[in-house]
Amino acid sequence: MNARLDPPTVGIKPLRVVIDGRNQDLIEVIDRGLQYGDGLFETIRIHAGQPCQWRRHLERLMLGAGRLGIQPPDPGILEAEVLSLTQTLDHGVLKLILTRGSGGRGYRPPESSAPRRILLTYPLPPDPEPSWRTGVRVRYCQTPASMNPALAGIKHLNRLDSVLARREWSDPAIAEGLMLDPSGALVGGTMTNVFLWDGNRLLTPPVEQSGIAGTVRALTLELAVQMGIDCLETRLAPADLEQAHGLFLTNAIAGIWPVRELAGQRFDLNRLPWILLDRVQQSAHTPG
Amino acid sequence: MNARLDPPTVGIKPLRVVIDGRNQDLIEVIDRGLQYGDGLFETIRIHAGQPCQWRRHLERLMLGAGRLGIQPPDPGILEAEVLSLTQTLDHGVLKLILTRGSGGRGYRPPESSAPRRILLTYPLPPDPEPSWRTGVRVRYCQTPASMNPALAGIKHLNRLDSVLARREWSDPAIAEGLMLDPSGALVGGTMTNVFLWDGNRLLTPPVEQSGIAGTVRALTLELAVQMGIDCLETRLAPADLEQAHGLFLTNAIAGIWPVRELAGQRFDLNRLPWILLDRVQQSAHTPG
């Protein structure tokens, strides 16, 4: 299907694409996912042929479907489709998209629509593993994160803010860019959640106005509480980050990225709570 | 292609679909328009086989392409494609979508991408004409409009806020719903811009933080200034609308919808500046 595209435009092609249970890589142009970004997605790490943190991804997808009023897929059918794709792949990435389907005039969804399940698998990107111990370099982005309490937290398909923020740099030495909301509050990275360690407590921005409630973010908070570490969801500004003992980023594919440098400021990775980070990193790559 | 969909899901099917100059109604699932809403669109009224206000639509598309960093299409090629579709249609709607095309890993766009032009034609919806003289009933929506200065004004594909707002009512007697931003300022309707007439001046919300710079909005401001009517882009709240002499909505398909009732409050349409409204309505449906 890509024959007519020049090689540079193809980028990383999916290994397999399955739409509503069938091998196909074309979709109706009237799908509302394309027309309005009317849908949701999950990006899931595949480890030893299994989707990691599947329950959390499924829960967030279901939560998002409830918020958008999209009929959720049957979890059994979805899981069977997911497993049939992951089982043939030792390591990799699964992207799962749920759109509201085709139809309706304008913004108004049709009264009964048939949501579409799109599954794509990709090879694992090369960068996550080395960055886990050595840390990553991070910058600030100029592009603000979009603010909307009705859309915050869920992983919907309206991701132009992250696309524009990710366009701001091409230096491969910079792993991630941090985004602020229009009021100047930290939201997260273009594809990560951010945690600040102040020596005693774990602080992270809330996801009520902006941002995405990441699966590894939830895992980090859960494990920290289990370990007796105080956690606080609170407004953070760049000035707070400057005072931090350490920072780390979370993401379903990478797990944890400790931050060794932010906008020129260096952080001593030894000051991070590695007992927690180790547990999160291990759990993030655990199937189920 | 729609054979497998149940009739209720199909909604209003396009009359024709042309992608990159070819008759086809399927698109690569890896198109960034679907993956991230990474693209733009225009909804254009077709009158007597011509696209109305074509220059304004083209300008906004080019402005949006600049903002998103999408390589703009050749205007001559685009116009030829548009005309070849509209010329066969006396009246109707043309939807033009420009996506960044396929490719790239994650949010980061590929360094060189081939943007995709998607043209769809539809029959004219039945409602615009009767509402022009009799006015429309309007409500408020609970769903806030998304706020992001980097995305405000342009007509991008991230339209979940309007989709969720439009889902809030199904009463066909209600023509439109007004949306506020997260700070409580009026942004516009789900698919319209809003104007307030205070007896002397025309007031409308700015589109710097939220909302879309509509083509008929621009036309209205331009004609009002030509006629010596003071215009002000300013923050408006529901309390301001209650005090208005009159309100009207603008949209490329309908032109102008005078508001005869908003959330139970009735407005006397005779208090609106019809000399302006008449000129806008006529110009909005003029080709070129």
pLDDT tens across A263-277, in order?
Answer: 999 999 999 999 999
CB-nearest to B149 from A144, A157, A191 is A144
A279 and A155, same domain (yes or no): yes
Measured over the CA atoms of residue B137, residue B143, residue B144 and residue B146, the dihedral's sign is: negative
Residue B112 CB: number of other CB atoms within 10 A?
A: 12
Residue B171: both structure tokens together = 């009463």
Interchain contact, B148 vs A182, CB within 8 Å: yes
B166, containing H or E segment: helix B160-166
Contacts of A37 in chain B (CB under 8 A): 36-37, 157-160
Report in angstroms the alpha-carbon separations of A253 from A83, A126, A220. Answer: 17, 11, 14
ipTM over 0.90: yes
Chain A residue closest in CA terms to B9: A113
Instruction: For chain A, give the number of residues.
Output: 288
- Asked whether residue A2 is assigned to any structural domain, the reply reads no
A28 and A170, same domain (yes or no): no
- Asked whether residue B1 is assigned to any structural domain, the reply reads no
Task: List pLDDT tens digits, range A102-158.
Answer: 987 799 999 888 999 999 999 998 765 678 989 999 999 999 999 999 999 999 999
B264 and B140, same domain (yes or no): yes
Contacts of A212 in chain B (CB under 8 A): none
B148 and B237, same domain (yes or no): yes
Contacts of B105 in chain A (CB under 8 A): 11-12, 122, 125
- Region B99-125: what's the mean pLDDT? 91
Contact of B31 with B101, CB cutoff 8 Å:
yes
**Whole-number pLDDT of residue B128:** 58
Report in angstroms the alpha-carbon separations of B185 from A242, B16, B165, B237, B262. Answer: 34, 39, 16, 5, 16
Task: List pLDDT tens digits, range A69-90.
Answer: 999 999 999 999 999 999 989 9
B134 and B271, same domain (yes or no): yes
Q: Judge whether residue B105 has pLDDT over 80.
A: no
Confidence tier at B204 by pLDDT (50, 70, 90): very high
**A122, A138, A159: which is the final residue of a domain?**
A122
A157 and A18, same domain (yes or no): no
A134 and A72, same domain (yes or no): no
Q: Quick one: which of B31, B24, B22, B25 has its CA closest to B101?
A: B31
- Asked whether residue A1 is assigned to any structural domain, the reply reads no
**A58, A89, A122: which is the final residue of a domain?**
A122
**Whole-number pLDDT of residue B127:** 62
Q: 3-state DSSP call for residue A197?
A: strand
**B74, B104, B122: which is the final residue of a domain?**
B122
**Whole-number pLDDT of residue B288:** 72
Q: What is the CATH number of the domain that holds A79?
A: 3.30.470.10
A167 and A96, same domain (yes or no): no
A249 and A269, same domain (yes or no): yes
Interchain contact, B160 vs A163, CB within 8 Å: no
Bridge partners, residue B45, by sequence:
B93
- Asked whether residue B52 is assigned to any structural domain, the reply reads yes
Q: Total domain count for chain A?
A: 2
- Asked whether residue B50 is assigned to any structural domain, the reply reads yes
What domain range is B52 assigned to? 7-122
Q: What is the CATH number of the domain that holds A280?
A: 3.20.10.10
**Whole-number pLDDT of residue A3:** 32
Task: List pLDDT tens digits, range B154-171.
Answer: 999 999 999 999 999 999
A101 and A68, same domain (yes or no): yes
Residue B5: both structure tokens together = 């969909």
B66 and B142, same domain (yes or no): no
Residue B107: both structure tokens together = 């949010």
Contact of A105 with B170, CB cutoff 8 Å:
no
B134 and B28, same domain (yes or no): no
What's the rounded Cα separation, in Å, for the pair A79 and A25? Answer: 20
Q: 3-state DSSP call for residue B10?
A: helix
Interchain contact, B34 vs A27, CB within 8 Å: yes
Interchain contact, B167 vs A108, CB within 8 Å: yes
Helices (H), A37-90: 54-68, 75-86
Interface with A, mutate which of B148, B156, B190 (most A CBs under 10 A) = B148
Contacts of A106 in chain B (CB under 8 A): 166, 191
- Asked whether residue B162 is assigned to any structural domain, the reply reads yes
Chain B residue closest in CA terms to A157: B36
